[in-house]
Structure formats: structure tokens, C-alpha cells
Amino acid sequence: MRKIWHRIMLRLGPGAAFFLIKCLQWTMRIEELNGERIRSAWQRGENVIGAFWHGRLLMTPLVYGGHGLKILISRHRDGELISRTVHHFGLETVRGSSTRGGIAGIKGLARALREGYDVAIAPDGPRGPRCKVQPGVMQLAKLSGLPVFPFTFSASPRKVLHTWDRFIIPYPFSRGVFVFGEPISIDHAASEEEVKAKTLLLEKRLQEITEVADRYCEKRR
């Protein structure tokens, strides 16, 4: 029975999720804070690495403004549903994570960057710990020489699910905001200690901009 239900979800779920996100987009008032930080890079034709918390994933496809994006999605069976949903937005995926197929995932993202794609990763996914950055994203930045742009999304009012990542779903006609933080770069020759320091810096900036986003929406309800 569980396998049958999973097949039904894989067949119908992605289209339903796409429709939900588009309906939310049509009814919500969505703003951007500091979007010029990443949009100026896109305008210059530069590739970037985006990093966001797993719990803020739902509306992420709406903010992309580059020329081609690949998102790291877990090999877990829930990841297949997310992957198929992302494809409805014309975006592509690389399968892997920090816990399942992590090495393959990072290699796939590195290959995508060499091919001219932007890439995005939820560095606390696919199973947490919540809001704790795993080292893969800064290793990718070190290998590629490209900056990591932290960004987040919030909305008010919103539904917060009782999942490990506290996944948020905006209500229709709510107010939403994407907030971008300052990019983080790391040298090709950086030591392991420097990678750890940059990883902690990324975690700090993601936490800071998420707090900014949450406060921004609450004040403008």
C-alpha cells in the first residue's frame, strides 16, 4: 500500500506542488532585500553558488534570475518528489546530499559549474541538523573559486510544519520576502581550518538574514 501511495504522489504531487506555488505567487506580495548582490553577478554573466535553509525551500524557484540552475536534491525518495517539482519551473537537479551520495552530489555540482550553470544547495539538508551548515558547500566554493550567496525566504502569516526542518508554507494573500546576504569567497589554497571558519561564517549569515526576513514580514502584516 505504501508503494502504491508513493507512486501516486510521484505522479500527481509535482504538478500539484507547482500549482500551489504559482497560486501563492499570484496572491502574495513578495519583496526582495539586497537582491542586487546576486543579480549584478547574473548581469555580468558570472556563475554563482546559492545557499539556503532546507525549511525555506518551497518558494525558492521563484527568485532565480540567471541563465541556468541546478539544485542539489537528496537521493531519498522524498527528494524525487522535490526534483520533479523543480523541473516544472525549468530548473535542473543534481542528486545527492551530505549524508546520501554526498561526494557524488558535490562532484555533480562542480561539473555543473564547469558547464556554466549556477548551483544551489540547502547545506543543512536533507535530514539536518536544522540550520547547521555542512562543509560541502564551502568545499565546492574552494574547488570552483566562485562565491557563495546566502539567501532566505520568509512570509507572514505562514504555516510552520512539525518537521525536522520546520518547513514553512505561506498562506495565500500573505506578505513574503527574499533576503540576500553578502557573498562569501574562499581561496583555492585555503586550509582545512579556513574552510571550517568560512563554513561557520556562512551559517552565521544565513541565521542573520533569516531573522531579518522573519522580522520584516511580521512588521508589515
Q: How confident is the model at residue 102 (pLDDT cuts 50, 70, 90)?
A: low
Q: Which helix (H) or strand (E) holds 195?
A: helix 192-219
What is the model's pLDDT at position 100? Answer: 46
Give the closest residue to 121 by CA, choosing from 25, 144, 88, 220: 144
What residue ranges define each of the domains in the chain, with the CATH number in brackets?
Answer: 2-219 (3.40.1130.10)
> Model confidence over 168-195: pLDDT tens digits?
999 999 999 999 999 999 999 999 999 9
> Model confidence over 126-166: pLDDT tens digits?
777 999 998 899 999 999 999 999 999 999 999 999 999 99
Q: What's the average model confidence in pLDDT over 53-69?
A: 94
* Grid coordinates given for 39: 543579480
- Evaluate if residue 97 carries a pLDDT over 90: no
